[in-house]
Each structure stands twice: as structure tokens, then as C-alpha cells.
Amino acid sequence: MSFIIGITAYSFSLFFDEKFVIDSIKVRIIAISIQKARFLPVPTLINPGQYNVQIYYEIEMQPHYELTRST
């Protein structure tokens, strides 16, 4: 579960700035595919090298821009 949250949190941070406010965020997991790897990929912390994990998800955001007054 922390793996999914890590990916989505990284995607959300691309949209954040000082004037950009996101009211609500909905994340829907479409499919999680786990396959046994035919070859040994580079071992990482998330993928130990025995399985290929693919996660498909949709992100629905309701953003708005805050209007700032320039004096």
C-alpha cells in the first residue's frame, strides 16, 4: 500500500505551487498485475527481482486557482 501512495504522492507534487489549490483528490485503482519475471531484473527495494508488479490507477482532481491581488 505504501508503494501506491508513494507513486501518487509524487505525481501530485508536480501540480503543486503557491496559487494552485486542490480541493479533493480521488484515486481509483483499476488493476494490479503481478507476473513472475522470466529474467532477473535489477533488484530494487520495491521489486526484489522475482515478480513484475504493474499498477494501473486513475486520478481525479478538483483544482482551482486562487486569485491574488497585486497592489
Cβ-contact 1, 27 below 8 angstroms:
no
C-alpha cell at position 62: 478538483
Q: Using 50, 70 and 90 to split pLDDT, how confident is the model at 4?
A: very low
Q: Where are the domains of the chain?
A: 2-65
Cβ-contact 8, 29 below 8 angstroms:
no
Overall pTM surpassing 0.85 (yes/no): no
Q: Tens digits of per-residue pLDDT, 26-35?
A: 888 888 887 7
Report how far residue 56's alpha carbon sits from residue 32's, in angstroms, rounded to the nearest whole number.
Answer: 6
pLDDT at 42: 62
Q: Tens digits of per-residue pLDDT, 41-69?
A: 565 555 555 667 788 888 887 766 666 66
